[in-house]
């Protein structure tokens, strides 16, 4: 890990720990101590296992979507790719670093850049579609309880839905009008490379046009000849979010509280949008405060702080550990590849 990444990781973890400590200070009491003494470790272990299952589902999604486009990627390579994504997401504002890492790792597995980008963007589209569907289904199932959430966070929920629908519309526009996408990307590239030499800028613009063509070619394959990739992608996206939301309920059962399965779908949809805002590295602090404010509608304050701490240990700190292990594997792989290249030249 380079010094910049290390600095962002320290900031992200430090800010998260600070928020959690403050949260515990305001919620801990005698009832909290009593609840901690009654924790069922079996359900906490199950929460970790379910979170690992979500990573498996994500890895299978990447693997099968890539295979539908004609690229063979091993499951463990795909799983390591997902783990590497977790660390990058934990140290970048709005978790924006995860997508470039997945694209890079797919490219290292001989998937052309345009196709790799199409796979990663399609993953995000499927995430948005599935989260909206699951949240909508949960609202119906919650019935009267949904009114409680609606009264407390109606405006936030409306903004969330508008944002998701807006992103889907933008994706459809760019997917159906490649010329518009090329103009938009070239404009952004020119804005960011104003101090570059003309030849270098021209080369970049040609590369952008070429990769946009590759991207649209991959999208066309998904819609026409690689529909299995979308089917498997949607299926494993559903399993991913069901498993991820079940993790929170398992933690609650371990704390002696009733599960909040359907509520967690709605809360996760709102959190997913909140955590896209580039406020802190890895959205640390944002996730804790956002989750606490919504789960507080259903949980006693004595339990809330402990729940949020365990929830973040499973879904954030454990992710960092997995990402560090993945980073070590990637560094070892790149070092071995560089050594082989040097040998072949010698």
In this predicted structure, the answer to whether residue 253 has a pLDDT above a threshold of 60 is: yes
Average pLDDT (7-28) is 86
The whole-angstrom separation of Cα 124 and Cα 164 is 11
258 or 205, greater pLDDT: 258
Q: How would residue 155 be classed by pLDDT, with cut points 50, 70 and 90?
A: low
Which is nearest to 95 in space by CA: 72, 71, 67, 127? 127
| CA dist 183 → 179, 189, 207, 339 (Å) | 6, 10, 13, 41
pLDDT tens per residue, range 288-309: 888 888 888 888 888 998 999 9
Average pLDDT (149-170) is 65
Residue with tokens 């590849």: 337
Phi, psi of 281 (to 5 degrees): -65, 130
Q: How would residue 58 be classed by pLDDT, with cut points 50, 70 and 90?
A: very high
Q: What is the reported pLDDT for 175? A: 73
Average pLDDT (211-220) is 72
DSSP-based three-state secondary structure for 76 = helix
- The CB-side HSE value for 258 (13 A sphere, CA atoms) comes to 6
- In the numeric block, which tokens belong to residue 126? 């499927």
In this predicted structure, the answer to whether residue 249 has a pLDDT above a threshold of 80 is: yes
Q: What is the reported pLDDT for 283? A: 74
Buried b (16+ CB within 10 A) or exposed e, 51-90: bbbbbbbbbbbbbbbbebbebebeeebbbbbbbbbbbbbb
Q: What is the reported pLDDT for 2? A: 67
Q: What is the reported pLDDT for 254? A: 92
Q: How would residue 147 be classed by pLDDT, with cut points 50, 70 and 90?
A: low
User: Is residue 129 classed exposed, middle or buried when 0-12, 13-18 and 19+ CB atoms within 10 A define those classes?
Assistant: middle
172 or 107, greater pLDDT: 107
* Cα-to-chain-centroid distance, residue 218: 22
209 or 150, greater pLDDT: 209
The whole-angstrom separation of Cα 250 and Cα 261 is 9
pLDDT tens per residue, range 112-145: 887 888 888 888 888 877 877 777 777 777 666 6
Q: Sketch the domain layout of the chain as residue ranges.
A: 3-345
- Please tell me the pTM assigned to this model: 0.81
Which is nearest to 295 in space by CA: 331, 255, 345? 255
- 228 within 8 A of 68, measured Cβ to Cβ: yes
Q: What is the reported pLDDT for 344? A: 73
């Amino acid at each position: 890990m380079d010094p910049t990444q290390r600095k962002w990781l320290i900031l992200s973890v430090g800010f998260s720990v600070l928020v959690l400590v403050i949260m515990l200070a305001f919620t801990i009491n005698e009832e909290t101590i009593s609840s901690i003494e009654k924790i069922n470790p079996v359900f906490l272990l199950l929460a970790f296992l379910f979170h690992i299952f979500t990573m498996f589902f994500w890895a299978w999604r990447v693997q099968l979507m890539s295979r539908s486009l004609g690229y063979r990627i091993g499951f463990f390579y795909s799983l390591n790719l997902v783990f590497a994504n977790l660390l990058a997401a934990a140290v970048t504002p709005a978790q924006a670093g995860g997508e470039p890492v997945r694209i890079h790792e797919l490219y290292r597995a001989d998937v052309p850049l345009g196709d790799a980008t199409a796979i990663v963007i399609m993953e995000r589209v499927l995430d948005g579609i599935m989260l909206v569907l699951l949240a909508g289904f949960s609202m119906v199932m919650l019935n009267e309880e949904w009114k409680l959430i609606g009264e407390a966070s109606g405006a936030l929920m409306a903004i969330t839905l508008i944002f998701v629908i807006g992103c889907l519309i933008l994706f459809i526009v760019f997917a159906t009008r490649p010329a518009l996408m090329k103009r938009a990307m070239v404009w952004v590239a020119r804005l960011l490379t104003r101090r570059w030499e003309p030849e270098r800028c021209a080369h970049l613009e040609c590369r952008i046009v070429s990769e946009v063509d590759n991207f649209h070619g991959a999208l066309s394959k998904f819609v026409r000849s690689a529909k299995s990739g979308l089917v498997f992608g949607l299926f494993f996206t559903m399993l991913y979010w069901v498993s991820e939301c079940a993790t929170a309920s398992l933690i609650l059962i371990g704390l002696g509280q009733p599960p909040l399965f359907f509520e967690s779908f709605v809360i996760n949809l709102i959190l997913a949008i909140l955590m896209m805002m580039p406020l802190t590295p890895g959205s640390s602090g944002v996730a804790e405060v956002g989750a606490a404010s919504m789960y507080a509608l259903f949980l006693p304050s004595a339990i809330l702080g402990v729940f949020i701490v365990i929830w973040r240990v499973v879904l954030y700190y454990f992710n960092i550990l997995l990402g560090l292990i993945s980073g070590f594997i990637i560094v070892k792989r790149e070092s071995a590849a560089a050594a082989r290249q040097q040998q072949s030249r010698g």
